[in-house]
Chain A
Amino acid sequence: EAGVTQFPSHSVIEKGQTVTLRCDPISGHDNLYWYRRVMGKEIKFLLHFVKESKQDESGMPNNRFLAERTGGTYSTLKVQPAELEDSGVYFCASSPPPAGRHEQYFGPGTRLTVT
């Protein structure tokens, strides 16, 4: 079974530019999450999709961040315009429908550097 994949693995952009990150969850996983780790600190929640619907976007830092999940499959996270403080590692995770277990499966992350 293929794991969660993310593209690109690394992106370097200038302040003010736009970047789009992509996440492909594990097949059959209705739940998709975005997290971010900044400066080696804790991993922080950004938002949660159930299929194509945003279930919780309380962690999105501001309106420069836009997440979509087309047809309930892959998801994109767009940052426009990027600021220096957006630098960090963006992780995507997925999990199956609730069944008593709550672990989430993470992708390798996209390292975003804004210069």
Chain B
Amino acid sequence: DQQVKQNSPSLSVQEGRISILNCDYTNSMFDYFLWYKKYPAEGPTFLISISSIKDKNEDGRFTVFLNKSAKHLSLHIVPSQPGDSAVYFCAAIITGSARQLTFGSGTQLTVLP
């Protein structure tokens, strides 16, 4: 039973436009969420995070939105650049107990020049 789901395995966006990556979760105990970016043959790199007490967190071109009632979060990248092409993983954690990250299956983002 996958507790964090990324239903879009791939997404293509034109350079300069907005990329929106989506993530859904089922476990209401998750209280902290992270996005990681992964290039081929490299490990995941932390991108941005959000606590469940917030509904938005912004860092430069990257913004994460959290809708707790819908158990849904999204990552917005504006404007998208070719260097953003990578696999993006959504992850969740229950901060009060075990500190393991629970990951989604990832979305391959391709930004077309």
Contacts and interface: CB of A to CB of B under 8 A. Distances in A.
Interface of A: 4, 31, 33, 35, 41-45, 48, 55-56, 58-59, 91, 93, 95, 98, 101-109
A42 B4 contact: yes
CB-CB nearest 5 A-B residue pairs: A106-B43, A45-B100, A43-B103, A103-B46, A42-B105
Interface residues of B, number: 24
Given A102-B34, A102-B93, A106-B44, A42 B101 contact: no
Given A102-B49, A102-B95, A103-B49, A42 B100 contact: no
A56 B32 contact: no
A104 B46 contact: yes
12 contacts: A31-B99, A35-B103, A42-B2, A43-B103, A45-B101, A56-B99, A59-B100, A95-B99, A102-B32, A103-B49, A104-B101, A106-B45
Given A48-B99, A102-B34, A103-B34, A43 B46 contact: no
A42 B43 contact: no
B100 A33 contact: yes
Contacts of B59: none
A98 B36 CA distance: 19
A44 B103 contact: yes
Contacts of B101: 33, 35, 43, 45, 93, 104
A71 B95 CA distance: 26
A4 B34 contact: no
Contacts of A4: 43
B98 A58 contact: yes
Interface centre among B43, B44, B49, B104 (most CB of A within 10 A): B43
B63 interface: no
Contacts of B32: 102
A42 B104 contact: yes
A47 to B, nearest CB: 9
B102 interface: yes
